[in-house]
Amino acid sequence: AQSVAQPEDQVNVAEGNPLTVKCTYSVSGNPYLFWYVQYPNRGLQFLLKYITGDNLVKGSYGFEAEFNKSQTSFHLKKPSALVSDSALYFCASGVSGGYNKLIFGAGTRLAVHP
């Protein structure tokens, strides 16, 4: 079965430090991968995606993610965290042959401390 895993329920980081939120995937064929962020009582906001091409993808608000095919990972990174980055982050993968429907990880709560 195809799946997306986010191994950390929560990530804590000090403001100004680099952050990484981990994601691994298990899908058939060539994956396409997304990161979304969710603030309280709001829907999911798109951050970035990997479809093909350069393994390093840059997205909104200074976030980037690196696609690693050999490790089946798509970790989200930011060089310098802000308190306002504190939110719930979801990794998702498109399903091959599945009309673009997405499979989501369980989410990782990012807490950035001043």
**Footprint of other proteins on this chain (CB under 8 A)?**
4, 32, 34, 36, 41-46, 49, 51, 90, 92, 94, 98-107
Distance in Å, CB of 104 to other proteins, minimum: 3
User: Minimum distance from CB of 68 to other proteins (Å)?
Assistant: 18
Amino acid symbol at 78 = K
CA distances from 10 to 31, 33, 104 (A): 25, 21, 16
Q: Minimum distance between the CB of residue 16 and other proteins, rounded to whole angstroms?
A: 29
For residues 37 and 43, give the distance between their C-alpha atoms in angstroms, rounded to a whole number: 8
